[in-house]
Structure 1
Amino acid sequence: MAGQSGAGLEVYNEKRDFSQTAEPRGRKARAPGHAFVIQKHAATRLHYDLRLELDGVLKSWAVAKGPSLVPGEKRLAVHVEDHPLDYATFEGTIPKGNYGAGAVIVWDRGTWVPVGGDYATGKLEFELKGEKLAGRWHLVRMRGKRGENWLLIKSDDDAARPDDAPDILTERPESVTTGRTVEEVAEGAENKPKPAKPAAKRKPARDEAAPARRATKAPMPDFIQPALATLKPAPPTGAKWLHEVKFDGYRLQARLEGQQVRLLTRSGLDWTDRFGTGVTDALRALPAETAIIDGELVVETGAGSSDFPALQADLSEGRNDRFVFYVFDLIYLNGHDLRTVPLIERKGLLEDLVGSDPGRVRFSSHFGESGSMVLRHACRLSLEGIISKEADAPYRSGRGKGWIKSKCSARQEFVVAGYVPSTTSDKLVGSLALGVFDGGTLNYVGRVGTGFSATVAADLRDRLDGMRIDRSPFAGKLTADEARGVRHVRPELVAEVEFRAWTADGLLRHASFRGLREDKPASDVVRESGPAGETPKPQKRRVTLTHPDRIYWPDEGITKEGLADYYAEVWPRIAPFITGRPLALLRCPGGIGGQRFFQKHAWNGMSKHITPVKDPQNKAEEAMVAITDLDGLMGLVQAAALEIHPWGSTVADWDHPDTLTMDLDPGEGVTWEAVIAGAQEVRQRLTDAGLAAFVKTSGGKGLHVVAPLLPRADWDAVKDFTKGLAEAMAADSPGAYVATVTKSKRRGRILIDYLRNQRGMTAVAAYSTRARPGAAVSMPVAWEELDQIGPAHFTVENTPNRLAALTRDPWEDFRTAARPLEVTGQRRKP
């Protein structure tokens, strides 16, 4: 091993910025010796670094749990880069942002004497002569671990201790050079000798005693088949159940064996390399030598909502910075099989192991309240649903009655058995023909034609073209409409699809593609819920859409058909805010990434269901547009109207507004909490003026505070009132608010925009979509919901679930709460 003193330190030097850290530079060796040092290192994960002087460098191992004086007890020792001999005296703090950041103390030092074996062969026996450690030790390289993982084992001699003796790590935590603990170094205590601390009472290490009652000491098992939940229409009741959020991602089993971490799918496939290093590094940092953890890897969007399409998009793009692994069960820990331990105890151990910090690995909390209440709350926040589990149950592999899943919407996997090409491009999929197995035969359940991003539609087309077959794989013959345009493929791919309900004849209604499930075989796909509809049918659409598979929101895969389905679903709620009013439309014929323009006048070729209306004050002006029914709204969809901005007055009374809107538009650097506080202040000022105040998200960065009016005051009076309100807020809190649109004055402040309250101006309608990435909608919410959501939390995809879960519409009393804006000869002061 001669010559490693130079080359062996290259890795050490490359990992460190010596302008920031006080660690010594790697340099050539001095005269050979046999020094050893053990440094206690409070990095991301507390560990002990064993360093033996050999061939002019310090050969180094990171011992996660520290050395044990119990003979035969194996401690994992991960081989790391060589360190220079000068490192033996290093004690201090490595600054944040640097490799190995954290406090370091010299926990023990002395000399070591080779006794037998050889470093090169991976078996080294030696004697330590230190201030804390003594006697014979073994370092043994583990097979099949590419050389990094070794075991540190104490020999049975006079320096060894029995199992019940004090632990040297807790008995002697101080530095042998300064007397400081690693915590004191981290806190910046002075570098001066301190008296040795008295022996502390030993606490059993996790691997020295059963971690919970009923745990079984056993070797780490091979892959454990995961526990699976049974779908029920409602969560179970009773005190024996606890309830968790149902995540929308990939179910994974994390296996920790020393420094090796593997992520296995629910069928046992090794997907570790698919997710980058962020999650595996976080798992590796957990204070466990061996563990099997059950969880779900997700990408979160909005206020804590997991998003499976976003997860698939990140995987296809090679992006891994948004991955979060939520863990909800602990199956094995440090030599103990926990499957017979009650769930509530397993979760307690898991929470202790993971902690509460919101890192890449997060503990999935549970709720003991009423399951139906937890489900309603989850659905109102547009989550997928909940999983209810028996608190005292063991971990049982397979599908059983101890885990019950309740969903906010109908969603399951289906087999892809065919596709219809896109009408807008010969390189894209337009829709997929889907089926489920029943007794070995494949039954047709309908098509899904929205939810594909442009990239996914192209990838699916490439993949399915190579899977084409001549005959239909479905057991029954399709009708002419069902078979039209379908190109059949081998029924091997599994797609996850969200849908509103089953029709009476057993077909999907309002289906939206969520992604491919490569972790589940097609043969396992069966119908999960019955053919009865789960939700009331929305009003039927009668307007024919041309090119229904035209993609309006590319990243989200929302098509013209998908937008039409959304508006049909929310029609009863949006209708009062857009019918019988002059409208301004933001049209995007090519979707949000193409040409866009505002349209407030009638145009040639517009749908016959869109009504031209004349402004009585401007009869010479071109006709404006309005709608009166769902067919009119479908005409707007056909025209690619991706935003709908109504006047605050109706065509029956153009000059007396019935709606007042204050738009809170945050400048750069303004927090969501500040926006909420601003909205609450607007609410109070409106209330003081005798008006009712309602709130909705804008679908962008801010909030709209909206007051219904009895249409008595004219536009000038309403504008004067709202201008006075905005200027009063800006005058009272000039550091928080501005009332002028000038962008240079808005940094760090909120614009209180009152200009929408004048004749001819508009504000985006409640429930209208926004022509922005994410497909957010402007959502009416209850005031108490604001701190539970984000500004763009509600989208085309999750809004129907929210509305179905509401027990009461937060804007239910909007029109009945209308009050007149009382004005006199002078401007009304807010």
Structure 2
Amino acid sequence: RGTWTPDGDPQKSLKAGKLSFSLEGKRLKGHWALVRMKLDGKDKKRNWLLIKGRDAHAIGEAEPEPVEKATVSAISGVSNDDLAKGKTLRPDHRARARKPDTMAPTATLAKLAGAKKAILPVFVEPSLAVSAAQPPDGPEWLHEIKHDGYRMQARIDGGKVELLTRKGLDWTKRFHPVAKALKNLPVQAALIDGEIIAQDAAGHSSFSSLQVDLKAGRHDRLAYYVFDLLYCNGVDLRGVALQERKRILASLMASADASTTLRYSEHLDVGGETILAHACKLGLEGIISKRGDMPYLSGRGEHWVKSKCMLRQEFAVVGFVPSAAVKNAIGSLVLGYHKNGELVHAGRAGTGYSSEEALSLRKILQPLAEDKPKFRKTPTAVSMKDVIWVKPQLVAEIEYRGWSADSLLRQAAYKGLREDKAAAEVVLEKTVAVTARQPKAATAHVKLTHPERVLWEQNGFTKQALANFYAGIAKWIIPHIGGRILSLVRCPQGAGGQCFFTKHAWMGMNEGVRLVDTGDEKPMLAIDGIEGLLTLVQMNVLEIHVWGSQAKDMDRPDRMIFDLDPGEDVTWADVRNAALELRQRLETVGLRSFVKTSGGKGLHVVVPLQPRADWDEVKAFSKAFAGLMATDTPRRYVANMAKNRRRGRIFIDYLRNGRGATAIAPYSTRSRPGAPVSVPVEWSELPDITAGDQFTVDNLEHRLNHLKRDPWAELPGHKQTLPL
């Protein structure tokens, strides 16, 4: 207790970033300064430094700090040790003493490894999960169902219960039935972490249902799933391993009335991939994987990992397009996020609204209308058409399938407004690859320099993550690139920087990449296994292109490729139909074909061959075949690469079939926004494929883990000859 006196106008000083003042307190005295630090590009918010001035009250380096000298409260005259020993009870402690308590005694809890006696915290910054394409694996991981609601911290102090959002806002009144149930728990003081949800008709947690219920004042579908215990009866448990914290929490919840809204979030310690697969089949959002041997760590970190069945995150609402069908309703929301303090346009969400929500959102957004916000990069005229811009104050939860080549959301659906987060805090969630999943032998001989370097800014995918990704899919990609001559796209500064093609050796190349004499002036490159693949990652290779022949028989191609490259105004349905027509035409001449996405705008149709015909023969056949399709249907197809002939038509690119020409390898990444991947698919899957860049580093492993068979399993053994 005491007084403080600012030097000058405190408001102006705060705005300027330096507030000087003097303290005359019972403990702290003298001159101080609060100084705002500069952003370093990584921090989401500014930090402040509290600096003691050099005066008569300053202490020397060897002197104890005030907190070390003063162990007794300036207000009550009681020490923390006295409070912990029960010598003196504050009013809130007396309320605790009147409560029935079935929990282990304080002395017993305090003996747990990592536990310490302490006063009940007012609020603890919650632990947050990073995103991953696949859940981590290993005995140290526990896996829980990911609930779709509001993160809530329950603070129980005697007869008082508070429900606090992840930002510390008090939402007790909003969820008073939950608070009432918590008040009846047989514990005197506790801090519980969990999620409040509303269950839909199928019994799943639904954020949309929760919003509807909150607006209607409905509480019968509420449930509070608790998954962590941070404090219990005078003991801070944050330093205790998660497995032990959950054991204590389960004991507490076992005494809860089963008819209340309280639920214990069970965990499983079997394989995360198995649990995720079942969660997705049941229509759930995904799972959370947590290190069972770790303490509770505030903030976002890789000790908690979330794996989703669908991509999902929050975006700032920056505008809307009025509905063309319903008066005073929205047709779609225009979305954005922040990057280094600037607003980035992310596209639109045009589905997911009920008719009531469409009307309600228009009513909420209309008063926020303003001129177009300042974007980091001005959206295209098409993106801005019919948009009514609004102040970016609201946050929407959005589910989506991925990102387009121009960095806009694909198949985005609205799930609800987030009232527990400020729009200024919305940034893209970064998806990480959990290093524990990486096979140790896979990288034993390849050392990555700058593993933290971000190669794809759109999803924060790093060099280490790319190495982990390729190590995880090695058995899928190696059969298609091993033993073939390569052309590579290297991007030293990542996909957003300058990239260049290379097909010859470079300085620092290790033994994992071998040289192949093709008769050219310089030898070309090939790899045979995982070591070579990871060497390419080390050299920032983001695209792997391959010859259509084996290096050991380089002049006899064993694959013929047709690249269906759509021009402007060509729909994806047209591209799919072109692939199916090409397949049918090939079958009429006795050739079986296989299909893959290009990782770009189109599809590749691949014909396996006996390595008998030479390059000239294969190129001549493919050229004639493409030309025939273009002649038969000139309004849809073109076999000439001239850009001016391709508008509204599909270029059937046969030029991949010449000596020295290459095509993107199956399962190779592309140096495009969002890190798309070229992926083999079954012909029967084609109607469900929505774009050439549908598969990315974020969702490919999930696809591969749920395939019943390799779509190209029969390609290597299906050798056929051209009907020459």
Q: Which has the larger radius of gyration?
A: 1
Instruction: Kindly indicate whether structure 1 or structure 2 has the higher relative contact order, using CA contacts under 8 Å at least 6 residues apart.
Output: 2
Q: Which TM-score applies when normalising by structure 1? A: 0.41
| TM-score relative to the length of structure 2 | 0.47
Q: Which protein is richer in helix relative to its size?
A: 2
